[in-house]
Amino acid sequence: MIIQGIEIKKINDTLWEIPKHGGMLVPGRIYTSQNLLESTLQNDEAIKQVINVAHLPGIQKYSLAMPDIHWGYGFPIGGVAATDLDEGVISPGGVGYDINCGVRLARTSLEYKTIQKRIPILVENLFKNIPTGVGASGAIRKLSTKEIRKILTHGSQWAVEQGFGSDEDIIFTEEHGKLKGANPDAVSERAIERGTDQAGTLGSGNHFLEVDVVEEIFDREKAEVFGLFEGQVVILIHTGSRGLGYQVCDDYLKVLVEAGNKYGFKLPDKQLACAPLKSGEGQNYLGAMQAAANFAWNNRQIIMHLAKKTLMQTLSISESELDFHLVHDVCHNIAKIEEHQINGERKKVCVHRKGATRAFPPGSEQIPEKYFSTGQPVLIPGDMGRYSYVLAGTEKAMEETFGSSCHGAGRVKSRHKALKMGKGRDLIAELKKEGIEIQAKGFRTIAEEMSYAYKDVSDVVDVMAKSGISKKVAKLRPVGVIKG
């Protein structure tokens, strides 16, 4: 198949390969279906970005893309690449501006049918209690620089120590909510300043908090281990490191552009700015990025606690009646040092996941013991008008994708086009007709995030399931949404 003048060879029904050519050091591989490939990538620069990433010094095996692939900064969103620790590089474009943007799923013992009439007031109260939108602040008191530095080091452990959750939450957070190599000294004063009043805030764009219902169970055994059942009320949170993380990325892009020139890298796109992992520039970015990731985990931890309190107060129920527990928290904009099988040998590499979710298999020492029999929960939010999915990681993901899966639906229309499509329509009424209550800062946010702006996440998830990279466990349906 030829798309945009690029030869793409079909390996099987869910996997396509761009042969190594020109300056590519490895082939490109895209997990997708023929329909998604033809319908969403004909006019998208993302395929060229898969090729560009394959030029990175020290890249291992493949430049990978998940089925939710679309154009991004440097890397495509939905891109995965692993680089050698000695000869390879680290690139902010492989992480993104919103460092550790991620998803957190919490379960309750509530059945939707028993609280259905209370959803409008619940959504209203969630919107009041959890600050949303650009520059959102004030979820908790303004923090001192000293406290922010503690968060950058300790991640969500800080929130738990302050009473925003429990030790159990730490167990079910990826990396226990803390990357140990975080270096607050590598984070600029401006970035720290931007974070002082943003802990516990949702932000804008595609970030959200949803009240969802478990609509369908695909694997009852795994669902039981995850604590999920049909008709159950769950909370899904999607946000990241806010202004602090954005500033870290912005600061280091400038540094790494200069580093690329210093080290003589010849890359096809300046947005792939990078530095050798072993270099001072590379180590400083890695430490700052890990610190921002810790801020994001702390942020989601506080938001979850605020949501729990709001549920209890709105529904006038006790903690035991709510039975609120974190299922898992996963990040999908990050670079992490992990050990993988490369050419028959176990090797430590730097895995960039930019719009991709870790999907480790049953028995992995990197996942909670509770999930040894099932594999890691993989949380895939869709758009706010349709559904989201809970998957489970597999051994095949470890073999083929550095333990990675998709991360969402994938945008197909720009925010400008989506906004244009929404003009003249009562979008709140349209969502209400589908049984979804929404509170947002304004029309623009809703219009930009309507279902028509995204691929159908079911198509994306089906590719992952058919390929064996992730297994379907449950489908969630939104009934209440708050957005910036």
Single out the residue of 291, 262, 290 nearest to residue 274, CA to CA: 262
Inter-residue contact 388 to 382 (CB < 8 Å): yes
Out of 207, 352, 407, 416, pick the active-site residue. Answer: 407
**CA–CA separation, 402 and 336 (whole Å):** 11
DSSP string, 280-342: HHHHHHHHHHHHHHHHHHHHHHHHHHHHHHHHHHHHT--HHHH--EEEEEEE-EEEEEEEEEE
Q: Does 325 qualify as catalytic in the annotation? A: no
In degrees and rounded to multiples of 5, residue 353 shows phi and psi of -120, 110
Cα 163-174-123 angle, rounded to 5 deg: 55
What the block records as the tokens of 369 is 């013991």
Q: How many CB atoms lie within 10 A of CB 135?
A: 14
Burial 428-456 (b: 16+ CB within 10 A, else e): eeebeeeebbbbbbeeebbbbbbbebbbb
Give the burial class of 395: count Cβ atoms within 10 A of its Cβ; 0-12 exposed, 13-18 middle, 19 or more buried: middle
Residue that has been written with the tokens 């040998």 in this structure = 345
Q: How many CB atoms lie within 10 A of CB 210?
A: 26
DSSP string, 44-109: -THHHHHHHHTTSTTB-S-EEEEEEEE--SSSPEEEEEEEETTT-EE-GGGT-SSTT-EEEEEEEE
**CA–CA separation, 258 and 222 (whole Å):** 48
Q: How many CB atoms lie within 10 A of CB 420?
A: 11
CA dihedral 189, 192, 194, 200 (to 10 degrees): 180
**CA–CA separation, 99 and 103 (whole Å):** 13
Catalytic residues: 407
